[in-house]
Amino acid sequence: MKSPLYVFKFIAKQSFFVNLLFAILLMVLVGFLFFQSLGWLTHHGSHLKVPSVTGLKVDKALDLLEKEGFEVIAAFDAHPESARNRGISVPVHPDSMLEEFIVREHVKLAILCVPVEFAQAVVNRLISSGIQGLLNFSPIVLEVPPEVTVNNVDLALELEHLSYFIR
């Protein structure tokens, strides 16, 4: 077996243009392999199932999410009949079915729209069922383990920001 120094000696014996051509070809190959692997690395084109945990009207939000490519597959409410009467376009289940549904459907993301006093308890149930990401519309800072990502949406703050630009 030849020593690793052999490669360097071989390269050093070549002309500058041969080495330049080799370097360019190597960069093109690495770039090609990188761009070919991006879909696999980023899961581009794959869909995640997103349950909507709702205590508020969310029909407009559901339409927006579907337009953005998210598949909202269910909503959960303590009073599913009243939620169904509000015209929500996805199946509305009683909140007692939450954990079983998440496990059965392999759901990883959830939207949290519940009154503040119930938010942490619902989040605990979601996380224990396997949820890894939360979009939180409840005005509370949630306590979650480090492996769970929470994005908080404060509607009052967003409206305040928006009103600044309208004046």
What dihedral angle (degrees, nearest 10) is formed by the CA atoms of 137, 142, 146, 151? Answer: 20
Closest CA to 150 of 163, 125, 122, 131: 131
Using DSSP's 3-state secondary structure scheme, residue 123 falls into: helix
- pLDDT tens sequence for the chain (167 residues): 566 666 667 667 778 888 888 889 999 999 999 888 887 777 666 665 555 444 444 566 666 667 767 788 888 888 888 766 766 678 888 989 999 999 999 999 998 988 899 999 999 999 999 999 999 988 889 999 999 999 998 877 777 777 777 76
The residue ranges of every structural domain in the chain are 5-42, 49-161
pTM given for the model: 0.60
Instruction: For domain 49-161, give the fold.
Output: Rossmann fold (3.40.50)
